[in-house]
Structure 1
Amino acid sequence: MITFNQERYIAQAINSVLEQQTTFPFEIVIGEDCSTDGTRAIVEQLAAAHPQVIRLRLAEQNQGAKRNFVGTFSEARGEYVVILEGDDYFTDPLKLQRQVAALDARPDWSICFHPARCLYEGNLQGPPMTPERWGREEATIVDLFEQNFIPTSGAMFRNRGAESLPDWFMDAEAGDWALHLLNAAHGNIGFLPEVMSAYRIHPAGTWSGRSVEARVVSIFHLLSAVDHHFGGRFAEHIERNRVTTVRWLFGEWNNAAETSRKAVELLSVMTTGETPRKRVTLGKGRGHSRKEIEQLAEMEPGSQDYQSLACKLEALLDERAWLREAHREWTSSLAYKVSRELKRPWNQLRTFFRSRRSKPMALPDDPAPPAVKAA
């Protein structure tokens, strides 16, 4: 367990582990990263009350989340490891018992995981649990390349020691995904359907608080490092993930464009200076929903709601510009060009054979792309 400035949550997290009912002993290793609030005092108090279970790793100065994790992980002595962040907690007292029994029964599993209930704070919204509608008893590292479907608090894995972590792990911002991929290289991934932990998502979270741009960049860097680590064994699956991400960006771009258009129209209606009834008429004529129309009728130019909508419009336009730039950078990247050029001769052959009956097409003398010839 690692923690930093989580005095609101840390006691609940630790107590949820102390309440576990098991037939085997377990330890709680807590890495406290020199918090500036009351977090350290809370963990020291609980450690003093449960010295046979809790071991503290107290940093003399702030190390950062990744160094704190690796240092704390290196202190783990058990056969199996569970990671619980300081703002999450277990919801089932039999969680550890069930996962240990599953891994003992399936030596071919390197990881065992279960869904986690999502707790949203602030204005954040999303699905009630993660992963949603996961019905497979078993998965592999190939599935994990498509998406990180393993919640951190829901995973238990075999302890291979922190020394097994590669150097690039320290630079991987999506550290939980990187750790799951490294573990999944040693065996399959087992699934238990019971929801046995809670995952807190709030604006101050390490990952949820980041922008879409930062998350995409982090994922692409992680995939590149993993590709080198495995010597290109999973290059096809990694490339598929990149293509899927770019397609998703296109969808976000279109959504942002449509939302921006509607926001512009709403702002134009609000600034007409007409009466609320006239604004409703204008809103209906432009195809806005009933909820939007009702909100529009209540707003006044210069009000706080008006300013909020104007800020939202500005943010959407910025996001749309970033998505356009991300697409431009992707299509001009070497990875995209090499993949496209390698497929070009085969696409030409396919087109040739499909059109052969109706309109034959002359093949080029040398269909090999420049990149292949120069290799």
Structure 2
Amino acid sequence: MAIDPRDPASILAALIQCPSVTPEDAGALDLVQSILEDRSFEVTRLPFQTEGQPRIDNLYATVGTNGPHLLFAGHTDVVPVGDAGAWSFPPFDAKVHDGVMFGRGAVDMKGGIAAFIAAYARCVERNGALPGRVSFLITGDEEGPALDGTLKVLEWLTEQKVRFDACLVGEPTNPNAIGDMIKVGRRGSHTGKLTVRGTQGHVAYPHLADSPIRALVPMLSALMDPPLDKGSNRFQPSNLEITTIDVGNPATNVIPGEATAVFNIRFNDCWNAERLVAEIESRLAGAAAAAARIGDDPLPWNLEWAPRVSDVFVTHDEKLVGTFALAVEAVTGRTPELSTSGGTSDARFIKDHCPVVEFGLVGQTMHKIDEQVPLADLKTLTLIYERFIAGWFGLETGR
């Protein structure tokens, strides 16, 4: 059955029916390509593969030439369904029940993609060719390790000398209702792995051993207390969470020789990566010295940082943020909160290329059993996107 490019529900249903559990594509990008090519987009498929990782397919589509360049970014990969038998309807059937569509990816974020495609088609139908350029960057690697998706496509686009003036990411940003929140920034994220080495031995002869746990515990405590900061004007306080501790020791009568812990920091604009790393390493060194036995040197320890840090950012572009906020208010009657809360997204890569904001569906069911979207919400999101596109290109937005 033909898909109406102006109807977000029909586009979303077709996308959900592609079981694109990351890193599988399952025909989702083929579907997007077909719809966009029918709207005169020039489509390029960009597969990338990091050694030891699965091959990831990505899509870049563009239409128009001169004038301002607006980018929409999103992903067609979805998380696993979990217990499929616990769903009210099969997770890839796109069943509509009482005005609600059920399916994995309904809100995160195939719904956002469907709404923007439909919004673009409607805007062009109403106004004719736009006075500028619209592009799509759709990846299959957002829910995965994000090694071969948006980041690699942006590198390719830089090599092609493609530039953007603004970007909208269609992630589900609204906590309770469409119009609640626009994400205008994100905290940074950095992960470290701490290893402390002691001397293995029998628990009955502690003088012949040296437990790394005795050092690890106060070192981890020093990371969390005192707090890194109290927050800033645009961000909540930075937060460090220990995500795993491991000594690899199944025996109850053995003092282990090594202990490790992994932690993640979500940091605000009180820090940059360099100063944050220096602070963490200073705290660890002080705690390790304090934990040493009297007369002994501190136990040897090593801190291995993740190879890539996600930097904190805030978007200040008045045209992008202001135009989008006005579109939200015009359609919903709500004044959206300009927020920097939550985790990370591919916006962390895009912000190095152009101003970026995020706005999409209500995220309450993302990654859950029975992920779902009311069709009324999908319609509202499409109207907001359509009004934003028109406003950003300086076209008539009245309805």
TM range (shorter): under 0.3
TM-score if structure 2 supplies the norm length? 0.25
Could you say which structure has the higher strand fraction? 2
Greater relative contact order structure (CA < 8 Å, 6+ sep)? 2
TM-score if structure 1 supplies the norm length? 0.26
Larger Rg: 1
